[in-house]
Chains A and B, each alone.
Chain A
Amino acid sequence: MRHSWWRWLLVLLVVLAIFVPSQIWLKQRVTHYKSNYKTPLNPTIMVPGSSASQNRFDALITQLRKETKTTHSVLKVRVAEDGQITYTGAIKRGDNQPFIVIAFENNRDGYQNINKQAKWLNLAFKDLVKTYHFNHFSMLGHSNGGLILSTFLEKYLAETPRVRPERLMTIATPYNMESDSTTKQTAILRELIKGRSHLPKKLTVYSVAGTENYSSDGTVPANSVNQGKYVFQNQVAHYTQITVTGDNTTHSDLPQNKQIVLLIRQYLLKEVLPSKERLPVNQSRSSDINDTDLP
């Protein structure tokens, strides 16, 4: 028994050599799981432009359902001026890629109104997160809806820190309102540029413009859409501008334009399209599998 204390020391050393590094590893893993965890529910929030109701995207959604052959369920949300929220439709059980259309009772144009609408969007968004417990989502904004979403991302998203936006697609969003100027900035653009550092760093943004002629889609000047680069470029992970021409490219036709429906499927919903439909630019990214990388 002379050597017995040696043995105990050895045992103690072995235990420490296992316990201490595993403790460090444990801390890393737990933060890894916390920061990388994604809920299966991955909604797409759609915001229509001015003067449009929560039914604005019906044509687009019908088109998407037909083409993707999946029943994306639709939840329509309407926020009244006093912040009262009414829901129609529902997110079906088992549908992890639902669409949530958020519209406002006050859907008028203008700097003041857009700021108010962003605030109302935040109200609805917080309510949705509380109800459905998703922690990542994508966004689609048509026309001023893109401005509302951008303002929301800069000003209000920080209030729900656990939820991460992944992709934003704006269709014909006039970042410089009706102005055709490339030098003069309207109030909303100035504000968006001022707050751009608050944009989520990992966001991927697509800005789609339609043009009937060389300068406009009939309502929104192409130059105004282009001003979006001063907001997003170098602030978010990727910023891509796409211009669509041809049939059905007037401002209000854009959401159901065939090319844009394809863009939505490919970039926003991250569908794997059959090669004949795929648009030339293609970046396939890792899927959102809950991988524990331990069997």
Chain B
Amino acid sequence: MVGRLRGLWRLNQRMNQWRAMRAVREALRVAYPFILVMAFVDVVGQGFLAKSGFFFHIYHVGQWLPGIALWRQGLQAASVVVNGLVAVMIAFTTGHYLARTYHTEPLAVGMMSALAFLTLNVNYEALSQGGHGNSAHFLFANLGPQGIFLAIIVGLGVGWLASHLMKGLAKWGLRHRQTPISWTGRIAWSLVVVLTLTVVIGYALSWFIGGGINNLVYLALQTLNTNVGHEGLRILAVTALSNCLWWLGLIGPIDVAGNSSVTSLQNLAYAAQHGSGWGAPHPITLHTLGDAYANFGGAGMTLALVIAIWIGSRQPSYRRIANQTALPNLLNLNEATLLGLPLLFNPVLLIPFVVAPAVNMALAWAAISWKLVPPIVYPVPRTTPGPLVAYLGTGGDWRALVLSLVCLSVSVIIYLPFVRLLNDEGGADHAA
């Protein structure tokens, strides 16, 4: 075990040497403060003000807060701008940092990669309708958190390409003194090349699938997801796959399990007639396992990660980020944690990120099959603190609460060795 952890540690160290990995980490580090602010805006907006918010319900916010519509709109405006464009920011910062390592024009390359990312998410269908329709010019869904993976790829690709183009043009200019190529020329020509490339790719892809590149992955996953059925093993596999994708920055494909799927409604119908969830028609679903027991803090049980960092981490930056993102994690809004640590592309944390939810789901699966706990049947707001989801969803069954706490402890125990392993990671970039 120790030997294997050592190997993992070496892999982590080696990956940290890669230019691309450093660029990604740096890009996420720069974007983190923005994401943190937005996480708190979401805590207030989604948890307290939205009609589906947990605290909105339990504190009856709608009854005593004057002008709630105004509050909602104000927060929504902020959320739409920053949360909605977080992927663009990351495309910029990734390209920017990569260009800096190549010693070219970081700001120009950053902007170039942001623009390149946008061209990949232009709504080409709207353009072909003459551009005067009501539909938006951009596929806005892809500019938010779910576009982060593509943003990183584009940032890396454009950062590399543009830097090399500029260097090449500079060399060419030196060799052909009679036709000098100016600073403007170098950037303009690189931009032309980059945009031509991405527009062609984007347009070609829009022939095959509406909704841009991202949609392809999301569609594939969603069909997988909607066909999960009740088989426990398949549910486990889909969740593990989904968590791997979260780790890559493909955030949210299986976010939609939810209270309103057909099986959940049938369970609710049963409970409304019989008074409890015992004997519900669909005891094992993604909702009764995943949403109830494997989603504390969001995908990958990040609430357990935060607790594990409090217990076992000696990295000041980790401890700081854990403190800052604890509250959003309590409401299952964990983007700030994922991007802040960063958990994304971190090979050490990938293992518990996938294993912890899987173990929890297996535990819940066993407990439900052996009739130790009833499945959750009542709809629960998405921002409900993780350990309470099962308790509230079963209509207040204390056994579900106990199982939730067991799941949380097990996850903390799973995360702990990996968090301790990262204690040895040293150096300058974590002292900040």
Contact = CB atoms under 8 A, between A and B. Distances in A.
B379 A22 contact: no
Given A23-B396, A26-B395, A30-B395, A294 B380 contact: yes
A135 B273 contact: yes
A234 B131 CA distance: 60
Interface string A1-31: 0000000000000000011011111110110
Contact of A26 (B51, B59, B268, B392): B392
A18 B58 contact: yes
Contact of B378 (A23, A33, A133, A162): A33
A30 B378 contact: yes
A95 to B, nearest CB: 17
B396 A21 contact: no
A293 interface: yes
Contacts of A34: 272, 275
B273 A292 contact: no
B379 A294 contact: yes
A39 B274 CA distance: 13
Interface stretch (B215-223, B257-265, B342-350): B257-265
Contacts of A30: 378, 395-396
Interface in A111-127: none
Contact of A295 (B260, B269, B275, B388): B260
Interface residues of B, number: 27
A33 B396 contact: no
Interface in A250-284: none
A161 B55 CA distance: 34
Interface string B45-71: 000000110100111000000000000
9 contacts: A18-B58, A19-B388, A39-B269, A290-B265, A292-B259, A292-B379, A293-B51, A294-B259, A294-B379
A294 B388 contact: no
Nearest to A162: B273
Contacts of A239: none
Contact of B258 (A37, A293, A295): A295
Contacts of A25: 57-58
B271 interface: yes
Contacts of B275: 34
Given A21-B59, A34-B275, 13 more contacts: A22-B54, A23-B396, A24-B58, A26-B392, A26-B396, A33-B272, A34-B272, A37-B268, A162-B273, A290-B265, A292-B260, A292-B379, A294-B382
B385 interface: yes
Contact of B52 (A24, A29, A39, A294): A294
Interface centre among B51, B258, B273 (most CB of A within 10 A): B273
B211 interface: no
Contacts of A19: 388
Interface string A31-57: 001100101000000000000000000
B381 interface: yes
Interface in B84-134: none
B269 A290 contact: yes
Interface centre among B58, B275, B388, B396 (most CB of A within 10 A): B58
A287 to B, nearest CB: 16
Interface string B256-291: 001110000100110111010000000000000000
B397 to A, nearest CB: 11
B271 A33 contact: yes
Interface string B384-395: 110010001001
Contacts of B381: 294
B328 to A, nearest CB: 15
B51 A22 contact: no
A33 B258 CA distance: 17
Nearest to B272: A37
Contacts of A23: 396
B53 to A, nearest CB: 10
Given A135-B273, A294-B380, A33 B268 contact: yes
Contacts of B269: 37, 39, 290
A26 B401 CA distance: 14
Nearest to A18: B385
4 closest Cβ pairs, A-B complex: A37-B272, A21-B58, A292-B379, A294-B379
B58 A292 contact: no
Given A292-B265, A295-B52, A22 B271 contact: no
Contacts of B268: 33, 37, 290, 292
Contacts of A290: 265, 268-269
B252 to A, nearest CB: 14
A164 to B, nearest CB: 13
A30 B377 CA distance: 10
Contacts of B54: 22
A33 to B, nearest CB: 5
B60 to A, nearest CB: 8
Contacts of A37: 268-269, 272-273
Nearest to A37: B272
Nearest to B388: A22
B25 to A, nearest CB: 32
Given A290-B265, A292-B260, A29 B378 contact: yes
A34 B381 CA distance: 18
Contacts of A29: 378
A78 B227 CA distance: 44
Given A30-B378, A293-B51, A294-B52, A133 B273 contact: yes
Nearest to B393: A26
Contacts of B271: 33
A35 to B, nearest CB: 9
Contacts of B51: 293
Contacts of B273: 37, 39, 133, 135, 162
A23 B384 CA distance: 12
Interface centre among A21, A26, A39, A294 (most CB of B within 10 A): A294
B26 to A, nearest CB: 34
Contacts of B259: 292, 294-295
